[in-house]
A and B are shown apart, each in its own frame.
Chain A
Amino acid sequence: EAQVTQNPRYLITVTGKKLTVTCSQNMNHEYMSWYRQDPGLGLRQIYYSMNVEVTDKGDVPEGYKVSRKEKRNFPLILESPSPNQTSLYFCASSSPSGGAVETQYFGPGTRLLVL
C-alpha cells in the first residue's frame, strides 16, 4: 500500500531536549516536505526536498533541521525545541511532472507538545 508514515504520532517533550520526527515513503517519490499546522495559521511549509541531498527552506524553517540522505526518508530535527514549536506536523511526498507535482501524499500527522 502506498503510504507516508510518521513516527511518533504523539510526543510530549520538554524545552531544549533534542528530538527527531521520522518520515518515510514507499512510493519512490523525489519530492518530500514538512508542514506544521496551528490554529488560525493554517498549514505552513517548513522545509522541502526535491531529491536526495537537496533541501530548501519553506516559510517557517527557524528552529528546524532536515536531511535527505536517502530517497525514502526525510527526518525533521528539532535541536532545541521550544514551546512555540508545539504544533501538528505533517510530512508529504510526491513526484514532479513537468512544472507541477503530482498528488502530494500526506502522512497521518505528529502531534507535538513542548513543555
Chain B
Amino acid sequence: DAKTTQPPSMDCAEGRAANLPCNHSTISGNEYVYWYRQIHSQGPQYIIHGLKNNETNEMASLIITEDRKSSTLILPHATLRDTAVYYCIAYHYGQNFVFGPGTRLSVLP
C-alpha cells in the first residue's frame, strides 16, 4: 500500500500557482518524498524529490513540513500542459517504489 495520501482531483486556473498537497504521516526518517506526473498514458515523468529541506528546480518547488508528515508540490504558473495525474511517493533506496492513485490536476483556461 502507498504510504501517502493525496486528494483525488484538483482544479487550477491557467497562469495561477497549483499547490498539490500530500500527506505522509508515517514516513520514516530515511525516506525521501518524490513527485512524478503522468500525462495520459505516457510514462511517468520525474518532477522533484526531497528529504527534509525545501527543494526547487525548473519545474516546481517542494515544501516539506518540519515534522515531515506532509508536503506540497507547487507549480508556480500552471499551464494547460500541466494537466496530468500527480503522484507523491515516499521511498528509500532498496524498497518497492509504490505509486498511489495520485491527484488528477486539471488546469482550466
Interface, chain A (partner B; CB < 8 A): 4, 31, 33, 35, 37, 42-45, 48, 50, 58-59, 88, 90, 92, 96, 98-101, 103-109
Contact with A along B85-103 (1 / 0, CB 8 A): 0010001111011111110
Closest to A101 in B: B93
Q: Besides the contacts A33-B97, A101-B91, what 20 more A-B pairs have beta carbons closer than 8 Å?
A: A42-B100, A42-B102, A43-B44, A43-B87, A45-B98, A48-B96, A48-B97, A50-B93, A58-B96, A58-B97, A59-B96, A99-B92, A100-B49, A100-B51, A100-B91, A101-B97, A108-B43, A109-B41, A109-B42, A109-B43
Q: How many residues belonging to B are interface residues under a CB distance threshold of 8 Å? A: 24
Which residue on chain A has the smallest CB distance to residue B2?
A: A42
CB within 8 Å of A: which residues of B? 30, 32, 36, 38, 41-46, 49, 51, 87, 91-94, 96-102
Write the chain A residue with the least CB distance to B1: A59
A106 contact from B44, B93, B100, B102, Cβ within 8 A: B44
Give chain A residues whose Cβ lies under 8 Å from the Cβ of B36. Answer: 104
Which of B32, B43, B45, B87 has a CB less than 8 Å from the CB of A100? B32
**Cα A42 to Cα B87 with chains together (Å):** 10
Closest residue of chain B to A41 (Cβ to Cβ) is B101
Contacts of A48 in B (CB 8 A): 96-97
Separation of A45 and B32 alpha carbons in the complex (Å): 18
Instruction: Find chain A residues with CB under 8 A from B92 CB.
Output: 99-100
Q: List 27 A-B contacts (CB under 8 A).
A: A4-B43, A37-B41, A43-B38, A44-B98, A45-B97, A45-B98, A48-B96, A50-B94, A58-B96, A59-B96, A88-B41, A92-B43, A96-B93, A99-B32, A99-B51, A99-B92, A99-B93, A100-B32, A100-B49, A101-B91, A104-B36, A104-B44, A105-B46, A106-B43, A106-B45, A108-B42, A108-B43
Residues in chain B near residue A100, CB distance under 8 A: 32, 49, 51, 91-93
- By a CB distance below 8 angstroms, the chain B residues around A92 are 43-44
What is the CB-to-nearest-CB distance from B29 to chain A, in angstroms, rounded to a whole number? 10
> Which residues does chain A contribute within 8 Å of B42, judged by CB atoms?
108-109
